[in-house]
Amino acid sequence: MAWNESGNGKDPWKRDDNEPNDLDQIVQNWQRRISSLLGGGGGRQQPGGGTGGFFLIILLLVAWGATGFYRVDEAERGVVQRFGAYTVTTLPGLHWHLPYPLETVDLVNINAVSNYAYRTEMLTADEQYVFIDMVVQFRRTDPVKYSFEVVEPDLTLQDVTESALREVVGTSELEVLIAARRDEIASRSREVLQNTLDSYGAGITVTSISLENVNYPQAVQSAVDDAQKARNDSERYSFEADAYARDIIPKARGNAARILQDAQGYRDRVIADAEGEAARFEAMLTEYQRAPQVTRQRLYIDAIEEVYGNSNKVFLDSEGSGNLLYLPIDRLLDQESRREPVTDMTRSADSPTPQQSPTDIRVESPDMRERRVRQ
């Protein structure tokens, strides 16, 4: 006989008559277990106890489901995660998600500006030791990247800030750090920091970096003072040079304008003279064509007059004995014209003999002197 034939009691598909097959019995079993967990008696349930246990379970399920409600404020965004994986980003308002541990939500404030103070010690480009105090302000602009791309983003921000500051300070000299160009150092640090955070996908935007204080050891105080004095002298010389430039440039422009005007006037005058000479030559050419001999004689006389008019002259008596008597008539006339007039009283007291003018001087030839002696 086969092992599973009817009547031998070994049929695997046959139910045991003693097993509970009623839904109420299953609920009662769960109710007894829950009651035992809650400290209730483990005895036999009273009639109607199964219905109360069912409602208790329903109440617990409702309470568990109510824990999934959450509210997102105006400045926040909700990042919903299902079993740790990103699901959706919710906007401001009332929302619901599957209760924990099925889903969780992280609320990220994207408008709030956070800041932290940072102090570090590092070397400059000229190998000087400095102490730097700074304040970094930032916002969490991308809630998804902020929550998933970087582990501990706030701590990562501090590490990246130190790296960016070392990169900038390490390429700058102490004189630049302690001068009035700290804003330039802060701007460069912010640029390097933001580029690094963007490459990480941290979802953080750095709004500002402020260098609050830059100190240095007292051993370099004298060198710093010398550098400061040199900067002050440089600024003073620069101001003086600017003042000199503002004074000399207008004068130079005025002189240049005057020279240009003079040159223009000279140009016009030369052109006018040349045109006049050309016109005179053309007129003379016409006259020459009419009377060549007379014109040549007139040109010769004009040339002699022009040459002898401004030169010293010596007159000779061609009929005399040939003795040369030099009279500087031009100088005598010039001295007479510059002499101050005197009164008759002064002339009678100081100059009893009147002085002859050049016109009273007579040039006597030898024949004239001989005739005067005979008389």
On whether both 56 and 87 belong to a single domain, the answer is no
Q: Is the pLDDT of residue 283 over 50?
A: yes
Q: Indicate the pLDDT class of residue 257, thresholds 50, 70 and 90.
A: very high
Q: Are residues 89 and 157 in the same domain?
A: no
User: Of 200, 202, 201, 177, which Cα lies nearest the Cα of 188?
Assistant: 177
214, 202, 78: which is closest to 150 by C-alpha?
Answer: 202
Is residue 225 predicted with pLDDT exceeding 50? yes
Q: Is the pLDDT of residue 46 over 80?
A: no
Query: 155 and 103 share a domain?
Result: no
If you average pLDDT over residues 302-330, what whole number do you get?
Answer: 69
Q: Which residues pair with 208 in a beta bridge?
A: 137
Whole-angstrom distance, CA of residue 330 vs CA of residue 344: 27
Locate tokens 């024949």: which residue? 367
Region of residue 127 (phi > 0: left; psi between -120 and 50: alpha; otherwise: beta)? left
Q: Is residue 241 part of a domain?
A: no
What's the average model confidence in pLDDT over 295-324? 74
Mean pLDDT of 32-40: 59
Task: Report the range out of 19-33, 85-99, 286-300 with the highest average pLDDT.
Answer: 286-300
Distances in Å between the Cα of 19 and the Cα atoms of 25, 53, 73, 106 are 10, 22, 55, 48
Residues 131 and 210 reside in one and the same domain: yes
pLDDT of 343 over the 60 cut: no
Residue 336 located in a structural domain:
no
Which of 138-142, 229-233, 366-370 comes out lowest in average pLDDT?
A: 366-370
In a domain, 173, yes or no: yes
Residues 120 and 32 in one domain: no
pLDDT at 359 over 60: no
12 pLDDT band, cuts 50/70/90, is: very low
Give the CATH number, domain containing residue 157: 3.30.479.30
Mean pLDDT throughout 143-156? 83
Predicted confidence band of residue 360 (pLDDT cuts 50, 70, 90):
very low
List the domain range (segments joined by +) for residue 122.
114-216
- Residue 223 counted as domain residue: no
Q: Is residue 280 part of a domain?
A: no
- Which residue would you say has higher pLDDT here, 81 or 268? 268
pLDDT at 326: 61
93, 109, 125 - which closes a domain? 109
Q: How much is the pLDDT for 50?
A: 54
Same domain as 140, residue 103: no
> Which of these, 148, 312, 127, 294, lies nearest to 220 by C-alpha position?
127
Q: Is the pLDDT of residue 193 over 60?
A: yes
CA dist., res. 134 & res. 132, Å (int): 6
User: pLDDT tens digits for 163-172?
Assistant: 888 888 888 7
pLDDT over 90 (residue 266) = yes
CA 115 – CA 137 distance, rounded (Å): 4
Q: How confident is the model at residue 36 (pLDDT cuts 50, 70, 90)?
A: low
Q: What integer pLDDT is reported at residue 322 of this predicted model?
A: 59
Let me know if residue 103 belongs to a domain. Answer: yes
